[in-house]
């Protein structure tokens, strides 16, 4: 029973077959789990930022939220609330029911309510009084025949292999943030996306198909569309940055062109003029009609080696982020979309910090999350120097505090207290 949830990390066809058996053998218990609003995991190990090794502990924190131990998350559930033994907590979110702005807003609302409305007593306990009329927890009874037990063991082995293969790296970039970018009269998202192209090229020595998700919520039931950030304009800028013969004015002009192109693609995607959802629909229709299209086959087979997303902040006003910057969420991350690719998400925390969440697979000889993180930092500084008369922004600490304040409920803290993050679970 302890490892039952590992089945939700198994391939879908295998889990579907075992689930059919479970509906017969343990219908009431399965219905109780699947009918719940969300799943709560009480982890037996502590997590969070530590004074002894802040960088490594932050990475381990992110990995624990993303993958767990393979059997302590019910991955089918809309979200799993993960509570570690030292009171730290975070989320693992299943993606099909909602996109990042929804789960992110939910977590920001939780953070703001906890800090500014509910609060804690002087000794660290939650304010308020217990509700004695609530029913006591009841143990679920599972009748697991040997065949299902074997399936659980097999699923657990596969889940541990997958979770152990994830390489997570989280770092707050605190040299500058959106306030500096705005002073350059540039879009902060486009600035970051073009800088990511430079960082990835330095990491791999080549350009790659790049995915950035954007919202189509202008439309009824709109979800997402893809912005293909690796444009000709971005490539021209990257080549210029690596060409010693190019001058800073030339590089700056090419950078502005790349940003303008990205902005145009972003606006087109948000207004329903993207191409990827259209191509996907055509592919599905071709499969349904048993029509082979070499063009659609090629499009469908292309791998996104760089999957990116910006985490939205303060979609509605919850509190004054300028007066309380330490309570801004530090975002969340997701797994890579390709065996030899990266997953990169970022969030603008206040005016002067950008926190990056980078993931890749340890089994790949082509990727290294920490290496890409260093390239991202260098690329951002190099781009910023184009707008500061050749001077890099003054180096500062990479954003990690000296110690963890121990604030209850914090998740991936990057400041002195209260920072939190959601971490989305994906197929990795």
Active site residue 95: yes
357 beta partners: 170, 345
Q: Look at residues 314, 316, 328 and name the one whose alpha carbon lies nearest to residue 115.
A: 328
Joined together, the tokens standing for residue 261 give 């192109």
SS3 308: strand
Q: Look at residues 393, 186, 202, 196 and name the one whose alpha carbon lies nearest to residue 310.
A: 196
Q: Look at residues 406, 408, 356 and name the one whose alpha carbon lies nearest to residue 379.
A: 356
Q: Look at residues 59, 38, 61, 37 and name the one whose alpha carbon lies nearest to residue 410.
A: 61
- Distance, in Å, from the CA atom of 400 to the CA atom of 422, rounded to the nearest integer, reads 18
Joined together, the tokens standing for residue 270 give 């948000």
- Distance, in Å, from the CA atom of 356 to the CA atom of 168, rounded to the nearest integer, reads 11
211 beta partners: 228, 307
Report the side by side order of strands in the sheet with 422-424.
Answer: 39-42, 79-83, 89-93, 422-424
Cβ atoms of 290 and 383 closer than 8 Å = no
Residue 305 CB neighbours (<10 A): 23
Strand-pair category, 353-361 with 166-173: antiparallel
- Distance, in Å, from the CA atom of 403 to the CA atom of 417, rounded to the nearest integer, reads 10
- Distance, in Å, from the CA atom of 364 to the CA atom of 361, rounded to the nearest integer, reads 6
- Distance, in Å, from the CA atom of 111 to the CA atom of 91, rounded to the nearest integer, reads 12
In angstroms, the Cα distances linking 368 to 146, 192, 292, 355, 358 are 41, 20, 37, 18, 9
Phi and psi torsions of 13, nearest 5°: -65, -40
- Distance, in Å, from the CA atom of 373 to the CA atom of 155, rounded to the nearest integer, reads 32
Q: Please, where are the H alpha helices in 205-342? A: 232-241, 248-270, 276-288, 294-301
Q: Which of the following is catalytic: 95, 300, 340, 370? A: 95
- Distance, in Å, from the CA atom of 272 to the CA atom of 70, rounded to the nearest integer, reads 38
DSSP 8-class letter at 282? H
Which residues are part of the catalytic machinery?
95
């Amino acid at each position: 029973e302890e490892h039952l949830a590992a089945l939700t990390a198994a391939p879908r066809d295998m889990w579907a077959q075992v689930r059919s058996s479970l509906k017969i053998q343990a219908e009431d218990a399965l219905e109780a789990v699947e009918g719940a609003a969300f799943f709560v995991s009480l982890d037996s190990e502590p997590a969070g930022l530590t004074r002894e090794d802040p960088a490594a502990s932050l990475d381990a924190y992110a990995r624990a939220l993303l993958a767990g131990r393979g059997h302590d998350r019910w991955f089918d559930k809309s979200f799993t609330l993960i509570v570690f033994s030292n009171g730290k907590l975070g989320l693992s979110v299943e993606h099909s029911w909602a996109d990042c702005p929804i789960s992110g807003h939910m977590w920001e609302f939780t953070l703001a309510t906890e800090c500014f409305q509910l609060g804690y007593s002087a000794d660290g306990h939650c304010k308020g009084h217990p509700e004695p009329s609530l029913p006591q927890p009841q143990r679920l009874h599972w009748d697991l025949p040997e065949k299902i037990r074997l399936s659980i063991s097999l699923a657990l082995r596969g889940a541990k292999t997958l979770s152990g293969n994830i390489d997570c790296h989280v770092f707050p970039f605190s040299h500058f943030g959106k306030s500096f970018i705005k002073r350059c009269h540039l879009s902060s998202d486009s600035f970051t996306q073009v800088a990511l192209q430079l960082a990835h090229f330095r990491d791999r020595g080549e350009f790659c198909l790049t995915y950035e998700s954007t919202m189509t919520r202008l439309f009824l039931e709109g979800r997402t569309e893809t912005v293909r950030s690796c444009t000709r304009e971005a490539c021209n800028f990257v080549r210029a940055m690596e060409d010693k013969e190019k001058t800073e004015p030339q590089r700056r002009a090419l950078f502005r062109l790349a940003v303008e192109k990205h902005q145009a693609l972003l606006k087109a995607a948000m207004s329903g003029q993207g191409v990827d959802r259209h191509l996907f629909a055509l592919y599905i229709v071709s499969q349904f009609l048993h029509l082979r299209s070499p063009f659609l086959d090629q499009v469908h087979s292309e791998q996104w080696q760089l999957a990116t997303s910006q985490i939205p902040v303060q979609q509605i006003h919850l509190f004054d982020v300028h007066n309380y910057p330490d309570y801004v969420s530090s975002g969340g991350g997701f797994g890579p979309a390709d065996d030899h690719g990266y997953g990169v998400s970022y969030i603008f925390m206040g005016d002067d910090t950008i926190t990056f969440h980078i993931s890749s697979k340890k089994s790949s000889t082509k990727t290294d999350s920490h290496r890409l993180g260093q390239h991202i930092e260098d690329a951002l500084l190099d781009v910023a120097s184009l707008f500061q008369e050749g001077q890099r922004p003054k180096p500062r600490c990479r954003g990690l505090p000296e110690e963890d304040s121990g604030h209850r409920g914090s998740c991936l803290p990057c400041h002195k207290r209260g920072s939190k993050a959601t971490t989305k679970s994906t197929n990795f």
